[in-house]
Structure 1
Amino acid sequence: MRDSIVGIFIGSLIGAAVINGFSLLFYVLGISPFTAGAVAAEIFLRNNLVHTPSGIFIGLVATTALSFGTATLTWLILRWTGKDWAWLKGIIAAQAFTFLGVGLFMPLLGIAPSFRNYGLAHIAALANMIFLGLAQGLWLVYWQQPTIRS
């Protein structure tokens, strides 16, 4: 039997790599003026501290925490509904988490208010979370074979 917490934690590390990797790619390509780590760091820091070394570290930790929540939700959905279409269930869980975070908590808490001025940044974030959900759904079904029902 494989440990669920370890599988979810490794899934969250994979997800954080996906989130930050694609976010940086979208930033470098000019698709989005934000990185996921910078937006996540604004939860804890003032805007002028986000791009400092400590701000970058806090942003990476925060995106890993977001990824852990998404991996946990995906694991629960797979546990309740079975492992068929795990990649799609991962995408659905990640998108639900994104809509909750970006649509509710960011405006409610005043996180990155300028993010709302960039529609393409929202599309990039949704695409990023598709990649996250895909990776986590596939990883969790691979890792949790004995504990997720068919």
Structure 2
Amino acid sequence: MSLSIREKDTVQEFLNRMRGQHNEVGSESLVRLMIVFPQSKSYFAHWKDLSKDSVNIRKHGIVIMDGVYDALAKIDNLNDGLLTLSEMHAFMLRIDPINFKLFIHCILVTLSMMFPEDFTPQVHLAVDKFLALVSLALQQKYR
């Protein structure tokens, strides 16, 4: 699976347009993940407050979305570009890779809620495909 030139342009245009609110997207998506898929809370058991406005959630939301923008900058070579993140998630954090797919779903839902006019079916398809490729790149060290 790969992105067409049109899909790359669509992803870059949409994500750059929402850049000013990407921190909010990150924290909202992370809280949504923990509510809809409560098993994901186990990775954050050391945080006392798991609400949307908690300092830890907001900080980690920023880290996640910064990672998405880092991936956007490496869109033509995600496997090599995200190798360090893949190693960290596989060997240090030991994140179950199914959580990448679950989190992508939460990001897509959040984007559709926050940007209903801009999140057209074409944008949805391109962003979903891009995030799926990011997920595959993050899973490369699990294989």
TM tier, shorter chain? 0.3 to 0.5
Which entry has the higher C-alpha Rg, 1 or 2? 1
